[in-house]
Amino acid sequence: MIFVDSNIWCYFLDESSKEHRKSSNFIKKILGKEDIVTNTIVLMEISHFLVKNLGSVTGKKKIDVFLEFPLTTEDLNYSYAREAIALLCQYFHAGIGGRDATILATMKKLGVKRIATHDKAFKGVEWIELIDPVK
């Protein structure tokens, strides 16, 4: 299992991004072959990026394609929020913010140890393996 952060999905879905080729190669390599995990906060972050950068029509088309991918998507509920707050407090010094903390809470609950991200803040979390497909 692997959690794919929003930045990797955004690079993959936006062909104009300089990171598109490397993120695309990575996503194509794991899509349908690994259990990919996300959460509803990441879905909204990706949707916001696509609508903001590609416009509401093209952005919505890309979102619809993305939502058809075989993903395990966890809802953020009160229990997740409390865990995310605890993780935010624990890893704030490393640069983990609120949305990142929801990712950590999802990973912890599901036992996911690997994350694909271009966000260096996750390096400060000792129990996960960071994979940066675009470096």
pLDDT given at position 86? 98
Residue 17's CATH number: 3.40.50.1010
Distance CA 42, CA 126 (A): 22
Q: What digits encode the pLDDT tens for the residues 55-113?
A: 999 999 999 999 999 999 999 999 999 999 999 999 999 999 999 999 999 999 999 99
pLDDT (average), residues 19-32: 97
pLDDT given at position 3? 98
Kindly report the average pLDDT of the chain as a whole number: 97
pLDDT given at position 75? 95
Range of the domain at 104: 2-131
Residue partners of 90: CB distance under 8 A and separation at least 6: none
pLDDT given at position 22? 98
Write the single-letter amino acid at 91: Y
pLDDT given at position 101? 98
